[in-house]
Amino acid sequence: MKVCFTAKGATPDSPSEERFGRAPYFIILESETGSFEAIQNPYADGAGGVGPKAAQILIAHDVKALISGQVGGNAREVLAAAGIAMYTYRAGGSVKDASDQFTKNTLVRSE
C-alpha cells in the first residue's frame, strides 16, 4: 500500500513538513517493499487553490493514506472524496520517524 508523507526534503531522513498543499516534497512509501519515491511539489509556491491540485498528485500516484500536519479544508474534501485516509503527525521529526509511528499505529486519524 502506498503511503504519502509531506517533507522538506527528498529522502526519508528529511525533516517532515507540517503543511500539505505547499509541502516542498511528497515522499511516497510502499509499505510492502519499503521502497520510496520522492515527488517535488510543483504547487509549493502557489498562491491559491493549491490543496486540491496537490491532492490530485496523490490520486495520480494511487496513494491510500496521507500523513501530514496541516491539511486545508479544500484539500481535505478532495482526499476524502478519493478515499485517501488522513493521519496527523506534528512531532517535527523526520519522515522516517513519522513512518515508524504510522506502522506502530500511534498516529491519530483525522476526519
Partner 1 sequence: MIRLAVISGKGGTGKTMITAALAQLLPGSLVLADCDVDAANLELLLSPKLIRTEPFMGMKTAVIDPALCTQCGECMEHCRFGAIERDGDAYRVSLLRCEGCAVCTHVCPAAAVTMQPRQTGEIKYSDTERGHLVHARLVPGAGNSGLLVHAVKKTAIEQDRNSDLFLIDGPPGTGCPLISTISGVDMALIVTEPSVSGLHDLKRVVAVCRQFRPRILVAINRFDLEQSLTETIQIWCKEEKIPMIGKIPFDPVVIESVRKGVPVTRAGASPAAQAIQILAANLENELMHYGNRRG
Partner 2 sequence: MRLAVASGKGGTGKSMVAANLAFTLSQAEQVTLIDCDVEEPDLHLFFPAPSTTTEVTVPVPVVDETACQHCGLCEEFCQYGAMTVLSSRVLFFPELCHSCGGCTLVCPNGAIHEDPKRIGTTTISTPLPNLKLISGMLDTGNPLAVPIIRTAKKLAASDPLVICDTAPGTSCPVVETLDGCDACILVTESTPFGMHDLQLAVDVAARLGVPAGIVINRSDGKDQATLEFCTDHDIEMMMTIPFDREIAAIQSRGDLLCRARPEWQKAFAALFVKCSTLAGMDR
Could you give the C-alpha distances from 33 to 5, 85, 108, in angstroms and in order? Answer: 16, 20, 24
How many residues bind to partner 1 according to rule CB under 8 A?
A: 4
Instruction: Determine if 74 is a binding residue for partner 2 (CB under 8 A).
Output: yes
Q: What are phi and psi of 93, to 5 degrees?
A: -85, -160
Instruction: Determine if 63 is a binding residue for partner 2 (CB under 8 A).
Output: no
73's enclosing H/E stretch is helix 73-81
Give the shortest CB-87-to-partner 1 separation in angstroms.
19
Instruction: Determine if 50 is a binding residue for partner 2 (CB under 8 A).
Output: yes
> Which residue's CB is nearer to partner 2, number 12 or number 51?
51
The residues with which 78 forms a beta bridge, in sequence order, are none
Choose among partner 2, partner 1, none what residue 45 binds, the Cβ cut-off being 5 to 8 Å by kind.
Answer: partner 1
DSSP E strand stretches across the chain: 2-7, 25-30, 36-40, 65-68, 85-88, 108-110
Choose among partner 2, partner 1, none what residue 42 binds, the Cβ cut-off being 5 to 8 Å by kind.
Answer: none
How many residues bind to partner 2 according to rule CB under 8 A?
A: 13
